[in-house]
Amino acid sequence: MEFLKTLKTSFNEGKTKPLSWRKSQLLALKRLLLENENAIYDALKADLNKCKFESYVSEYQYVLKDIKQTVKHIAKWSKPRHVGTPILAQPGRSSIRPEPYGTVLIMGAWNYPLQLVLSPMVAAIAAGNCVVLKPSELAESVSALLASLIPKYMDQDAVVVYEGGVEETTALLKQRFDYIMYTGSENVGKIVMRAASEHLTPVTLELGGKSPCIIDKNTNLKVTADRLVWGKFLNAGQTCIAPDYVLVNRSQTVPFIEALKNALEKQYGKDAQQSDDYGRIINARHFVRISDYISSQKDSVIAGGTVNEHEKYIEPTLLLNPSLSSGVMTEEIFGPVLPIIEVDSVTEAIDFINEREKPLALYMFSNDDKNIKLVTQRTSSGTLCINDAVIFMVNHNLPFGGVGHSGMGSYHGQWGFDTFSHLKPIMHRSFWADAPIRYAPYTKLKQKLFKLIAKL
């Protein structure tokens, strides 16, 4: 892979380090987006039937905003961060200097095929790295578009798009990178981590899993349902942080389901297949996988359930109390099917969640501070979001990432910059006033003095 040699040379010659280069590349990416807005919408429509508004909010504008914020803060983020120095190392100065790793590999998933590669790339370039971008082959239109546009706008000696499927990616992963950020499934995450371990390459893994949603007794059901329907059925449920299933307090089941049905009709009409705003499933394999969740639990279907193979359409579907051992409750759904499980208390919901892998996102709708505190203290998740779904993604002051099986490491805003930087500690001593107290021979007096100073 000759291009890797070129990237390494660029990095070693210091091309990517000046702030001016980093900013120029971020602005080139901004130009790429601005000048190709419609082509981007067309590619997202072709791959996922993503409507213009969702494409704008969750992909196009999302990356533009990321660039804007990064360009604004890059000088501050790159500066050495001064920290105190203890008396034992005085006189001296200590600081932490962010430095780029070198050549980083960014691998994205197909569900937000633009955002999931460009947003990490913004952070990687801001931190001064060379980048190999590997878009998902399943979103083939977006992958092809990025492969044709990026070389036209960005420095080809430092940023390369590498397209391909399993075979090509397997070959790519044999190469030595200085950092890898992978977004996708847990299984491939393990493959990536195994490959990285051959070269002791550090990784950030942005994975998925089942993100639960607790509906407490005490909530505004109308707003809850509106927000939940939006977060779940956005992109036809193919969102890593979509609420996967609901744990509803039994006393709320009937009005909650009523509110969900109303919200569904309000957002997608009586027939979601006719809605311009409702997406389609990425490919036949995923269509069959999700359809099977419905057909194997058809007695639990309380709304929706219609599928159309030709269009890869799956109606927004609600299931009430499906079998806990069925696929829909043991695997990540990643589609427009929402199981609702009744529980008797928040404690029961917490136990249910804690018996499973740590989620990427955990949602809770409640007005009860005591219960909110209980969930906050007794559960672990990538993010906890109270009284809304998915929306926390817009806050780049928060790190985004998983914990346990939902991933490791994080990005967004300065968190992304720091992820792609080695935070190098530097201690700079003075030759002046070299107290011999730490040198042998370790006399009694020196030991006494040392103990006194160490306490300061």
In the bound complex, what is the minimum distance in angstroms from residue 177's beta carbon to ligand NAD? 14
First CA to last CA distance, the chain: 56
Can you tell me the distance from the alpha carbon of 333 to that of 210, in angstroms, rounded to the nearest whole number? Answer: 7
Options 39, 166, 394, 426; binder of ligand NAD; rule CB under 6 A: 166
In the bound complex, what is the minimum distance in angstroms from residue 139's beta carbon to ligand NAD? 7
User: Is residue 133 within the footprint of ligand NAD (CB under 6 A)?
Assistant: no
Closest CA to 409 of 136, 193, 209: 193
Output the 3-class SS for 135-199: CCCCCHHHHHHHHHHHHHHCCCCCEEECCCCHHHHHHHHHCCCCEEEEECCHHHHHHHHHHHHHC
Residue 239 DSSP code: -
Given 240, 315, 332, 385, the catalytic residue: 240
User: Is residue 332 within the footprint of ligand NAD (CB under 6 A)?
Assistant: yes
In the bound complex, what is the minimum distance in angstroms from residue 137's beta carbon to ligand NAD? 5
| Residues between 300 and 319 that touch ligand NAD (CB under 6 A) | none
Options 47, 54, 59, 206; binder of ligand NAD; rule CB under 6 A: 206
Q: Residue 8 burial by CB count (10 A; 0-12/13-18/19+): exposed, middle or buried?
A: middle
| Residues between 396 and 425 that touch ligand NAD (CB under 6 A) | 402, 407
Contact map string, positions 359 to 398, toward ligand NAD, x by CB under 6 A: -x--------------------------------------
Largest CA distance in the chain: 87
Q: Is 206 a catalytic residue?
A: yes
Residue 392 DSSP code: G
In the bound complex, what is the minimum distance in angstroms from residue 10's beta carbon to ligand NAD? 24
Distance of CA 76 to the CA centre of its chain: 24
Stretch that binds ligand NAD, among 48-56, 178-186, 422-430, 436-444 (CB under 6 A): 178-186
| Residues between 106 and 125 that touch ligand NAD (CB under 6 A) | 107-111, 116
**Total of residues contacting ligand NAD (CB under 6 A):** 28
DSSP strand E in 250-359: where? 301-303, 307-308, 313-314, 317-320, 337-343
Burial 101-135 (b: 16+ CB within 10 A, else e): bbbbbbbbbbbbbbbbbbbbbbbbbbbbbbbbbbb
Reading the block at residue 162, the tokens are 């590498």
Contact map string, positions 231 to 250, toward ligand NAD, x by CB under 6 A: ---------x----------
Closer CB to ligand NAD, 331 or 344, in the complex:
331
Contact map string, positions 185 to 204, toward ligand NAD, x by CB under 6 A: x--x--x-------------
Q: Are strands 317-320 and 301-303 parallel, antiparallel or unpaired?
A: antiparallel
User: Is residue 102 within the footprint of ligand NAD (CB under 6 A)?
Assistant: no
Can you tell me the distance from the alpha carbon of 87 to that of 70, in angstroms, rounded to the nearest whole number? Answer: 37
In the bound complex, what is the minimum distance in angstroms from residue 240's beta carbon to ligand NAD? 3
Can you tell me the distance from the alpha carbon of 138 to that of 238, in angstroms, rounded to the nearest whole number? Answer: 13
Given 54, 59, 140, 206, the catalytic residue: 206
In the bound complex, what is the minimum distance in angstroms from residue 162's beta carbon to ligand NAD? 10
Residues belonging to the active site: 206, 240
Residue ranges that bind ligand NAD, judged by CB under 6 A = 107-111, 116, 134, 136-138, 165-166, 169-170, 183-185, 188, 191, 206-208, 240, 332, 334, 360, 402, 407
